[in-house]
Amino acid sequence: MFKFRVLKFISIVVFAMALLLTGNVKAQSGLDLRINEILVHNDSNYVDDYGMRNSWIEIFNSAYNSVNMAGMYLTNDPKDPKKYWIPTGDPITKIPSQNYLVFFADGKPTRGILHLNFSLEDTNYLALYDINGRTLIDEITYPPVKADVSYGRESDGSEKWIFLEKTTPKANNYTGVVITSSERFVKYDPYGVGMAVIAMSVVFLALILLYLIFRNIRKVYAIDLRKIFSKHEKVVADVDESNDVPGEVTAAIAIALRLHQAEYHDHEEAVLTIKKVARTYSPWSSKIYTLRKLPR
């Protein structure tokens, strides 16, 4: 029962750490795509690969991995969610993390995958559906827009829509000075005291957490040394200090047990061991076959 409780505690701790590490990570799927910017009337703006100026739509991938739009649907009719099916099998529909893909609403789908079969000038509605044709990913109902003025999110993926001062196809909608989080932190903590406190707090909390984890693991999986040396304990138990046995005797018994277990033994000095050196015999080098007297 104790082992089960400890394992349960460790599982909860690991799960909590996983939540802390991934709590701010967004879901990485097609649902992270956003209609980011549109240009309805294009008189002297962004041109397509044919050198033509048409309405265009910018899709932004807010996920932390690449998302492929192949198989999804774009439409300007709320009653027809499957109006334009984005073909599969072309790498151009794969949007990298925090990146963009521009579609041209020119009503000429024969010009390529990125050319839609409708125009933004026909209605004031635009929607993006998932590959099942039923799950709505994003939609926008846009007001009347002047020529060469785009309507988009104030910053990439944000909720607020505005008339942008500059058209930004395949670029960040916000064109002002970007203040990073580190710069904002320096503004409130110019000497780094708060950063030091936060860093030390994280370190100590991690050490405390590791201590609790390993402490409970030790209780469950600790090796019982008494079981390993149980045979020796039975012998030593017979020689107890309460019987007035000197410590030297106990030490001698322990050494004898150790030597016996390891099969060590002493060699007597009075016993001589003579080993005969065997040599290979050959009649060619034997003296019995040599001439001892000169022949007559």
Model confidence band, residue 57 (pLDDT cutoffs 50, 70, 90): very high
Domain that holds residue 97: 30-177
Region 226-251: mean pLDDT is: 60
Does 87 reside within a domain?
A: yes
Task: Quickly tell me which residue has 């002297």 as its tokens.
Answer: 44
Which CATH number belongs to the domain containing residue 129 in this structure?
Answer: 2.60.40.1260
Does 80 reside within a domain?
A: yes
Does 153 reside within a domain?
A: yes
> pLDDT (tens digit, 9 = 90+) per residue, 269-287?
555 566 665 666 666 666 6
Does 111 reside within a domain?
A: yes
Does 143 reside within a domain?
A: yes
Q: How far apart are CA 81 and CA 83, in angstroms?
A: 6
- SS3 state of residue 294: coil
- 2-22 vs 193-221: helix crossing angle, rounded to 10: 150
> pLDDT (tens digit, 9 = 90+) per residue, 167-216?
999 999 988 777 777 777 787 888 878 888 888 999 999 999 988 888 77
The reported pLDDT for the residue numbered 219 is 64
Q: What is the Rg, in whole angstroms, of the alpha carbon atoms belonging to the chain?
A: 43
Q: How far apart are CA 107 and CA 52, in angstroms?
A: 13
Closest CA to 101 of 59, 159, 137, 131: 59
Q: Could you count the other beta carbons within 10 Å of the beta carbon of residue 123?
A: 14
> pLDDT (tens digit, 9 = 90+) per residue, 239-254?
555 556 677 777 788 7
pLDDT at 291 over 80: no
Does 84 reside within a domain?
A: yes
Q: How far apart are CA 220 and CA 225, in angstroms?
A: 14
Does 67 reside within a domain?
A: yes
Q: What distance, in Å, lies between the first and last C-alpha atoms of the chain?
A: 108
8-state DSSP, 37: E
Q: For the chain, what is the domain count? A: 1
Does 55 reside within a domain?
A: yes
